[in-house]
Amino acid sequence: MGNNKIIGAKIKSIRESKQLSTQEVSERSGLSIEQIERIEGNIDFPSLAPLIKIARVLGVRLGTFLDDQSELGPVICRKKDSNDTNSIGFSNNDSKARKHMEYHSLSQDKSGRHMEPFLIDVAPSEEGVDFVLSTHKGEEFIYVLEGILEINYGKNTYILEEGDSIYYDSIVAHHVHAAADNTAKILGVIYTPYSSAASMNIQLQDKTLGQWSEHWAETTPDKA
């Protein structure tokens, strides 16, 4: 499971330090209480979109869940140091929530970063899987290193082969998976907008949920 157990523990620790209940996080993120509890309890492999929504509610960057962000200078990742202990598994956002992608962070321990670059191993898709498209604020860039990738983006479907790339706004509903029964390896860069004001807003207890949601929350809930 790699760092998935660490992610669940960090989310719970940050939530409790901000004195937020799972119900409050649920209301502000659009995720169900059960979904949040299963992520915190490391029961499910979450998809990436719910983690981004939780990060925005807690007023932290996505990277806060992934590592300790201790390095202020350049961060170098060596191929020889890449292994299962520093990888993160995510689901393909289907009802079975099986592990679908293995993320290897290329920015681990970089303090104050605004981008999340990953090498991602994409598992073959199962036949008959009904993918649930997800949406979150930000942008994503994907470059296919090996295999064939299928991307559902809004009402369109794109097929990317080795050497192809795509850059898109992730506020549009999307889903990334291997085409047919192929495996794939991709370079993915995720950008999520962050503002310290988010953290301040969370702590203003007299701010109504409606105001908070209008300013920060996503409009479409996702399943883990």
DSSP for residue 180: T
pTM for the model stands at: 0.66
Residue 194 has pLDDT above 60, yes or no: yes
pLDDT at position 52, please? Answer: 86
pLDDT at position 215, please? Answer: 37
| Token representation of residue 188 | 């993915």
Mean of pLDDT values over 189-202: 60
pLDDT at position 24, please? Answer: 95
- Find the Cα–Cα–Cα–Cα dihedral 179, 182, 186, 191, rounded to 10°: 40
pLDDT at position 199, please? Answer: 42
Q: Which residue has the tokens 């029961």?
A: 43
Mean pLDDT of the chain: 77
Give, in degrees to the nearest 5, the angle at Cα 144 between 142 and 146: 150
Residue 25 has pLDDT above 70, yes or no: yes
115-126 tens-digit pLDDT = 889 999 998 877
Is 10 in contact with 65 (CB distance < 8 Å)? yes
pLDDT at position 214, please? Answer: 40
Pick from 19, 93, 16: nearest CA to 51: 93
| Token representation of residue 36 | 């949040």
Q: How would you list the strands of the sheet with 184-191, edge to edge? A: 87-91, 99-105, 115-122, 184-191, 139-147, 165-169
- Structural domains for the chain: 4-215 (2.60.120.10)
Query: What is the band of 206 on the pLDDT scale with cuts at 50, 70, 90?
Result: very low
DSSP for residue 123: P
pLDDT at position 86, please? Answer: 54
Residue 219 has pLDDT above 90, yes or no: no
Report CA-CA distances (Å) from 162 to 125, 129, 149, 165.
18, 24, 9, 9
Q: Greater confidence, 90 or 39?
A: 39
Q: Report how far residue 188's alpha carbon sits from residue 143's, in angstroms, rounded to the nearest whole number.
A: 7
132-152 tens-digit pLDDT = 888 888 899 999 999 999 999
Mean of pLDDT values over 177-197: 82
pLDDT at position 94, please? Answer: 45
* Segment among 62-71, 105-114, 214-223 with least mean pLDDT: 214-223
pLDDT at position 67, please? Answer: 64
68-110 tens-digit pLDDT = 555 667 877 777 766 655 556 555 444 444 457 888 888 877 7
Q: Which residue has the tokens 């990953």?
A: 118
